[in-house]
Amino acid sequence: MKKMVFLAWLIVFLPAMASAQDRVEVPVWNVGDKWEFGDRGTIEVLKVEKDGYVVGFSKSTCIIESQGFQKINFDKTTLQRIHWVTEDKNKKYTMGLRKIFDFPYTLGKQWTDNYSARSLVGTRKGPDALDYTEKYKILGWDDISVQAGKFKALKMEVTRSHGPVMHVHGFIPPSEYKGFYWYSPDVKYFVKCEYDPAVVKEYQGEVVNWELTSFQLKK
C-alpha cells in the first residue's frame, strides 16, 4: 500500500519538478545588486523604476557586454534592454545584446533580433552602421565553476552575423561569430561568457572571455 502511495506521489509531483527545471522566470533586481568580473569590470543596479532598472557598467567592462554605454535601462518583465541613459535622459536602445535577456527562459527556446548599429570593434569599427542579426538559443543546464563559486547555470548560444556591405574602409565580407553565456538563477546574472577562440584571436583585447569573480544581492 505504501509503495502504491509513493508511486502515486511520483506521478503527481515529478512532472511539476521537471517543469520547474525547464522554466526560469525573470529575476527581481534591487538597488545595490552588483556583479564583478575582475579586470573585466563591474555591473551594478543603480535605480529601480516603475517599469525597469537602471544598470551601471564600469568603464572597464567588456565593450561587447556594455556596448559602449555606462548606463542602460532594462525592462522589468523581460529584462530586455530598452534605453541607454545619458544625463538622466532615456534614448532608445538599438545596439547588440538587446534581447539577450528575454524571460522567461525555457529549455530549447530560440529567438532572433535584427538591428542596425555601428560596429564597436575590429576593422569594421567606424561611423557607418551595419545590419546585424542576433540568434539566441537555450542549450541546457550546466554545472559550472568560476572564481565566484560553483553554480547550476543555463547555457545560451548567441550568434551574431551581418551580410556583405560597403564600408568607409571599403568592402566588408559577411561575418558570423558565436558566444556562449551561462546564466545562474542564484546569481540573477550571467556567470561566464566564452567566445569562439578564432574571434578572440581576431579581435585581440577587444573581444574577451570573462567570468564572475564576486557578487552581492540586496534585499
Residue 161 has pLDDT above 70, yes or no: yes
pLDDT of 126: 62
Per-residue pLDDT tens over the stretch 83-113: 999 887 899 999 999 999 999 999 999 999 9
Residues in CB range of 44: below 8 A, 6 or more apart: 32, 33, 34, 35, 55, 56
pLDDT of residue 5: 42
Q: Does the structure show a pLDDT above 60 at 11?
A: no
Using CA atoms, how far apart are residues 21 and 142, in angstroms rounded to an integer?
12
- Relative to beta strand 149-162, strand 175-184 is antiparallel
Q: Which residues contact 39 (CB under 8 A, 6 or more apart)?
A: 60
**Confidence class for position 174, pLDDT limits 50, 70, 90:** confident
Average pLDDT over residues 1-30: 61
What are the E-state strand segments in the chain? 23-24, 34-36, 42-48, 52-57, 71-75, 81-86, 89-92, 105-106, 110-118, 129-146, 149-162, 165-167, 170-172, 175-184, 189-195, 210-211, 214-216
Confidence at residue 10, expressed as pLDDT on a 0 to 100 scale: 42
Confidence of residue 73 (pLDDT cuts 50, 70, 90): very high
Under a CB-based contact definition with an 8 Å cutoff, are residues 172 and 158 in contact? Answer: no
Q: For residues 19-44, give the mean pLDDT.
A: 91
The separation between CA 180 and the C-alpha centre of its own chain, rounded to angstroms, equals: 9
- CATH no. of 26-216: 2.40.360
Q: List the beta bridge partners of residue 134.
A: 113, 160
Mean pLDDT confidence for 195-217: 84
Computed over every residue of the chain, the mean pLDDT equals: 85
Which of 40, 56, 63 is CA-nearest to residue 125?
A: 63
Residue 188 has pLDDT above 90, yes or no: yes
Domain ranges within the chain, ordered by starting residue = 26-216
Residue 17 confidence (pLDDT) above 60: no
> C-alpha distances in angstroms, 204 versus 98, 158, 200?
24, 20, 6
Q: What would the pLDDT profile of 114-156 be if each residue is shown by its tens digit? A: 998 776 666 666 656 778 899 999 999 999 999 999 999 999 9
